[in-house]
Amino acid sequence: MIDLGKYAGAVIGAYGVSLVLLGGLIWHSVAANARARRDLERQERDG
């Protein structure tokens, strides 16, 4: 592994936070897409 020196904790923490935030954004996008798809199918069926 690459030697990060005295900043190893900060660098690894920053990577961890970034991964968590990216995961949250992906989850939110997938959930919003599913919700929009359901709403569109409901409108097409009822309309």
Show the tokens assigned to 20.
Answer: 């968590």
Mean pLDDT of the chain: 95
Residue 47 has pLDDT above 70, yes or no: yes
Confidence category of residue 1, pLDDT binned at 50, 70, 90 = low
Condensed to tens digits (0 to 9), the pLDDT of residues 14-44 reads: 999 999 999 999 999 999 999 999 999 999 9
Show the tokens assigned to 24.
Answer: 């949250």
Q: What percent of the chain has pLDDT over 70?
A: 98
The per-residue b/e assignment along 30-47, b for 16 or more CB within 10 angstroms, e otherwise, is eeeeeeeeeeeeeeeeee
Q: What pLDDT, on the 0 to 100 scale, is given for residue 30?
A: 98
